[in-house]
Amino acid sequence: MSTKAKTQTLKIASWNINSVRARLEIVERFLVEQQPDILCLQETKVINGVFPEGLFRRLGYNHLVLHGQPMHHGVAIISKVPMRDDDRLDWQANGEARHVGVRLDNGLRIENVYIPAGGEEPDRTINAKFGQKLDFFERMIDWSSKLTGPTLLVGDFNVAPLECDVWSHKQLVNVVSHTAVEIELMDRLQKSHGWVDIGRKFYPAPERLYTWWSYRALDWAKTDRGRRLDHMWVSPSLADQAVSHQVLESARSWARPSDHAPLITEFAF
């Protein structure tokens, strides 16, 4: 973090790490090379008591807010700057660790979320996981509509909303993460607070912008069958304070990678 002419700059990253303990080497590489002030992680897959705090503290990230559980899900916010007023909302109403939120000293709220993937079949009558995903969105919409302060919402939303957010709209239109009902709910969520999609602010549609590539691909970069499942949204009042944004696609090729790439936004407050 630096201060110039009363301007505070913050670089905030979000990454579905798909098991933080299994990927400590690339997490360290990311922090050393990119130097974010704050890192929001999803799918940490570890209980709070054995979260690998040592690595982060050694690199100067002395503020950690953790919401973990064994083997599945889990979210965390790791920061070089103080964080306060943390909460953990249960939008799935089943106790899973899918959300953590904090407030910074400058008044910014950061909400880090891992929305359920939803299983394979986009039909809640035969797939309970899909129904849980839809209900999760409904609870988030209710929460979002009542927000009043400047907020950054980040995480793995598990929805690619635009036709250009997937490698083939035609082939994925009935596949979970790109179905009409999911897109409609995500649109309602966005409108409920007037959220500004930072990714599309800097890379307007129909520019290519993916954040996830399946492990099933033998050569993910060559086939490039990506989806934009990870997002960073801001309250309307913060939109102009986002000064840069990138998806670090190269991280998808690092040793033992996550299937998601990190998102990085720099703000000038």
Give residue for tokens 């509509």: 145
Confidence band (pLDDT; 50, 70, 90) for 1?
low
3 state SS of 76: strand
Residue 6 or residue 259, greater confidence? 259
Percent of the chain with pLDDT over 70: 98
3 state SS of 223: helix
Torsion sign (Cα): 139, 145, 150, 154:
positive
Confidence band (pLDDT; 50, 70, 90) for 234?
very high
Q: How far is CA 10 from CA 3, 86, 114, 125, 235, in A?
A: 10, 19, 22, 44, 16
- Which helix (H) or strand (E) element contains residue 123? none
**What pTM value is reported for the model?**
0.95
- Which helix (H) or strand (E) element contains residue 111? strand 109-114
Give the per-residue pLDDT at 218. 87
Mean pLDDT of 187-202: 98
> Strands 151-156 and 109-114: what pairing?
parallel
Longest dimension (CA), the chain: 58
Question: In sequence order, which residues have a C-beta less than 8 Å from that of residue 119 and are 6 or more positions away?
Answer: 127, 128, 129, 130, 133, 176
Confidence band (pLDDT; 50, 70, 90) for 93?
confident
Confidence band (pLDDT; 50, 70, 90) for 5?
low
C-alpha 139/C-alpha 143 separation (Å) is 6
pLDDT reading at 66 higher than 90: yes
Confidence band (pLDDT; 50, 70, 90) for 192?
very high
Query: Mean pLDDT score of the chain, rounded to an integer?
Result: 96
C-alpha 83/C-alpha 73 separation (Å) is 22
Domain 2-268, CATH homologous superfamily name and number: Endonuclease/exonuclease/phosphatase (3.60.10.10)
Q: Concatenate the DSSP letters of all residues of 153-175 into one string.
A: EEEE-----SGGGBS-HHHHTTS
Mean pLDDT of 112-141: 96
Q: What is residue 260's DSSP assignment?
A: B
Mean pLDDT of 236-252: 97
C-alpha 173/C-alpha 50 separation (Å) is 40
pLDDT reading at 133 higher than 90: yes
Confidence band (pLDDT; 50, 70, 90) for 99?
very high
C-alpha 151/C-alpha 108 separation (Å) is 6
C-alpha 155/C-alpha 199 separation (Å) is 12
pLDDT reading at 4 higher than 60: no
C-alpha 241/C-alpha 95 separation (Å) is 35
pLDDT reading at 163 higher than 70: yes
Mean pLDDT of 201-207: 98
pLDDT reading at 28 higher than 60: yes
How many other C-beta atoms are found inside a 10 Å radius of the C-beta of residue 245? 18
Give the per-residue pLDDT at 56. 98
C-alpha 182/C-alpha 129 separation (Å) is 13
